[in-house]
Chains A and B, each alone.
Chain A
Amino acid sequence: MKTSEILKSMCKVLFPFVSMFGLYVIINGHISPGGGFQGGAILATAILITYIIELDIVENLTLLIRIEKYAFLTIILIGGISLFTRGEFFTNFIPIGSSIVYKRIFLIALNFFIGIKVATGLITIISTFIEEGE
């Protein structure tokens, strides 16, 4: 597939902004609209832009699958900590009477791991489809 020079140059300008916006949406998921799922989809779009620039796909799918597996296990573990601190599964592990600032640690951490998981999953799907199409 041939891509035009104008499209390549515009994508080179656009790539850092898209990836920065994805990270912003993930980290600020508890303040502004957005969150882990949406930010991960934006990050996967940034990787799709690199395909237009270089015509090179991500080859190492095994590493991506491994990262996604470990991110999913980390999400379950962070959710399970609340069994010891609050006595019930899958809720905030900071005690219920503490300050709002400490409760936000849980939200930021979980948004971050969900973002990594969704981004790696969508990158794997995109790379597989591009590889099949060639």
Chain B
Amino acid sequence: MIRKVVILSMLLLILILFMLTIEDININTSARDYLFENGFRETGSNNLVTAIYLDYRLYDSIYEAGILLVTVSGIIFMSKKDDDVL
């Protein structure tokens, strides 16, 4: 019971601190404004998320696909028996 009360009060404290800090931050919106105005014209994509991960930041996306390949090969390597290795 005491543990639950402590955890709840800590979560409430975190929530209040987050709300206080968000009010203070002066957000710079220049990148968002640039994408909103030029994203469709430069990449031809209505979905701005696709415009970012397939055109502006394709380097990041390719390595994200590479991480999945490494993960799959690692899982197969750990699950195979000794006699048959790919």
Tell whether A121 pairs with B54 under 8 Å between CB atoms, given A90-B62, A103-B43.
no
In the complex, are the beta carbons of A107 and B65 less than 8 A apart?
no
Query: When the two chains form their complex, are residues A65 and B59 in contact, meaning their CB atoms are under 8 A apart?
Result: no
Residue of B42, B46, B59 ringed by the most chain A CB atoms within 10 A: B46
Residues of A within 8 A of B72 (CB): 65, 68, 121, 124-125
Q: Which residues of A contact B58 (CB under 8 A)?
A: 79, 90-91, 110
Q: Report how far A96 CA is from B42 CA in the complex, Å.
A: 7
Interface residues on A, range: 35 or more
Which 6 A-B pairs rank lowest in CB-CB distance, beginning with the nearest? A103-B44, A100-B44, A30-B45, A90-B58, A121-B72, A104-B44
Binding site for B on A (CB under 8 A): 29-35, 37, 61-62, 65, 68-69, 72, 75-76, 79, 89-92, 96, 100-104, 106-107, 110-111, 114, 117-118, 121, 124-125, 128, 131-132
